[in-house]
């Protein structure tokens, strides 16, 4: 099978990383906006929970992006990143809770995560190319 569950997980993880990037940028852009409440993206914990399930066995499966696509056998990768409030942030006098140091730290972590995901994805396709070409190069 050319498209595995691992590639689907990489795709969803890249989507989450891009959403996290936009969320962090929005938080920083609103650092001086009164009453603005910062947000964060939750994905990895949801993915871990979905993969382990109640029985502890892996149950993560393929994901269809459109209902008209041909269904995979045992499809069910339905973990989507969620944007939630940052409940533990200190609220400033103007009601804003954006912490620039925290946001920059999250930005750096997300950038490292994204770079790792892109390298894993490139490696996956390089392996496929090697198999298709006969591995002789």
Q: What share of the chain is helix, strand, coil (3-state, %, to 5)?
A: 50, 5, 45
Please tell me the distance from the alpha carbon of residue 125 to that of residue 122, in angstroms, as a whole number: 5
Determine which helix (DSSP H) or strand (DSSP E) holds 20, and give its type and residue range.
helix 5-29
| Span of 10-14, 25-29, 55-59, 92-96 with lowest mean pLDDT | 55-59
Give the global pTM. Answer: 0.72
DSSP β-bridge partners for residue 82 = 42
Quote the Cα angle for 124-117-71, to 5°: 60
**pLDDT the model gives residue 110:** 96
User: Percent of the chain having pLDDT more than 70?
Assistant: 74
Q: pLDDT tens for residues 44-59? A: 777 776 666 544 444 4
Residue 124 has pLDDT above 70, yes or no: yes
φ and ψ at 36, to 5 degrees?
-75, 135
Residue 71 has pLDDT above 80, yes or no: no
Mean pLDDT, rounded, of the chain? 80
Please tell me the distance from the alpha carbon of residue 111 to that of residue 1, in angstroms, as a whole number: 30
Q: pLDDT tens for residues 104-117? A: 999 999 999 999 99
**pLDDT the model gives residue 34:** 93
């Amino acid at each position: 099978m050319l498209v595995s569950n691992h590639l689907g997980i990489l795709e969803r993880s890249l989507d989450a990383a891009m959403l996290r990037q936009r969320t962090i940028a929005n938080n920083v852009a609103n650092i001086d906006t009164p009453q603005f409440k910062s947000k964060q993206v939750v994905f990895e914990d949801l993915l871990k929970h979905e993969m382990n399930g109640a029985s502890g066995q892996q149950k993560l499966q393929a994901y269809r992006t459109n209902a008209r696509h041909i269904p995979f056998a045992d499809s069910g990768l339905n973990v989507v990143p969620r944007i939630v409030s940052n409940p533990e942030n200190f609220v400033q006098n103007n009601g804003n809770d954006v912490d620039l140091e925290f946001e920059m730290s999250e930005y750096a972590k997300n950038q490292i995560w994204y770079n790792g995901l892109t390298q894993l994805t490139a490696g996956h396709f390089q392996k496929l190319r090697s198999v298709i070409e006969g591995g002789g190069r």
